[in-house]
């Protein structure tokens, strides 16, 4: 089944392709159909994911999957949240965002550095789909004081995983795909789609 991924984020594309391709999906990036970016002006991860999925389905004529995700830090009242990708500004890169977060956290004690990644994953059959499949998941951890690891992307080098004893940037891609907020949301999504096909 051909499906378009509504993202131009290379890290997200890699992760979702790795999880979807073994299941028989022919995964196409949105960039094959348009370079236009959707204005993510929703007030939640779900709202933004829906905007992106509908746009990708419209420009491609295919079913689409979109995710919106980010990191929420308790000491910052949930920031950066839905603004995670643009935390340090509209043109900011991963390191800019990461460094801004570390700066905002510099006086926060170790015991109060809890955080979580959140993901909303949306599947639409077409741009007007009135019953989109929506799955959400989170991944708990805490914010380190210095980056560690070269894997992953985004805030992974400062997202500490207590059960693994390392950051998200230090685990293997396979393990990350199994544990992460995106991996958990995709598992829920695939279960939902399987149930729908069985009906």
Please give the positions annotated as active site: 68
* Helices 10-20, 181-198: inter-axial angle, 10-degree rounding: 40
Cβ of 183: how many Cβ atoms within 10 Å? Answer: 21
CA 186, CA 6: separation in Å to the nearest integer?
A: 14
CA dihedral 131, 196, 11, 78 (to 10 degrees): 60
CA 141, CA 17: separation in Å to the nearest integer?
A: 25
- CB of 102 closer than 8 Å to CB of 43: no
CA 7, CA 39: separation in Å to the nearest integer?
A: 13
CA 47, CA 54: separation in Å to the nearest integer?
A: 11
- CB of 159 closer than 8 Å to CB of 103: no
Closest by Cα among 59, 75, 67 to 40: 67
């Amino acid at each position: 089944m051909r499906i378009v991924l509504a993202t131009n984020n290379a890290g997200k594309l890699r992760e979702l392709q790795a999880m979807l391709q073994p299941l028989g999906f022919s995964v196409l990036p949105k960039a094959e159909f348009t370079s236009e970016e959707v204005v993510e002006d929703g007030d939640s991860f779900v709202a933004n994911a829906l905007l992106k999925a509908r746009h990708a389905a419209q420009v491609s004529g295919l079913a689409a999957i979109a995710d919106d995700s980010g990191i929420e830090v308790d000491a910052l009242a949930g920031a950066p949240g839905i603004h995670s990708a643009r935390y340090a500004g509209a043109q900011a890169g991963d390191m800019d965002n990461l460094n801004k977060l570390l700066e905002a956290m510099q006086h926060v004690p170790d015991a109060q550095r809890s955080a979580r990644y959140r993901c909303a994953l949306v599947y639409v059959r077409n741009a007007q789909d009135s019953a989109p499949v929506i799955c959400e998941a989170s991944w708990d951890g805490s914010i380190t004081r210095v980056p560690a690891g070269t894997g992953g992307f985004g805030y992974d080098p400062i997202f500490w995983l207590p059960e693994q004893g390392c950051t998200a940037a230090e685990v293997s891609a396979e393990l990350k795909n199994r544990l992460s907020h995106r991996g958990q949301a995709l598992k829920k999504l695939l279960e939902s789609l399987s149930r729908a096909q069985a009906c």
